[in-house]
Amino acid sequence: MNTVSRDEVRSMMGDVLAAQGKPLPADELTPLVDIGFRSLDFSELALRVEDETGDELNFDAPGLRRIETVGDVLDFLEQLQSA
């Protein structure tokens, strides 16, 4: 399976936020609630990653609920791709 690097995912996350007129902060410890990045935004990002890799990234909601920061998003998508 093709993988998308952490930097590329970060860039895609920036695109998702930019489409809503929001900036992606540099600090990976920034809480998602502070930048208005919601679960549906995470879905959009995951589906964009899927488009690049050509494989579905299916996962249960409990994993999603543990995501609180920008870094958590990047970590989770890295883990999903390597699973």
Partner 1 sequence: MPEYTPIPPASCVVVSGASRGLGLALATDALKRGARVAGFARTVTPELQALADAHPDDVHVAAVDANDSGAVAGFLRDAADRLGPLDALVNNAAVGQDSLHVHTSPERIGEIVQTNLTAPLLLTRAFLRRLTARGGRGRVVMVTSVCAQRGYAGLVAYSATKGGLDSAMRALAREMHGRVLVNSVAPGFFASEMSSVLGGEQLETITRRTPTGRLVEADDLTPIVGMLLFEDTNIHGQVLTVDGGSSI
- Which listed range, 5-13, 18-26, 38-46, 67-75, lies at the site for partner 1 (CB under 8 A)? 38-46
Which CB atom, from 10 or from 76, has the smaller least distance to partner 1?
Answer: 76
Contact 38, 74 (CB under 8 A): no
Candidate list 18, 19, 33, 47; residue touching partner 1; CB under 8 A:
47
Helix (H, G, I), strand (E, B) or coil at 31: strand
By CB under 8 A, is residue 82 in contact with partner 1? Answer: no
Candidate list 17, 46, 74, 77; residue touching partner 1; CB under 8 A:
46
Helices 70-82 and 6-18 sit at what angle, rounded to 10 degrees?
130
Residues making up the chain, counted from first to last: 83
By CB under 8 A, is residue 65 in contact with partner 1? Answer: yes
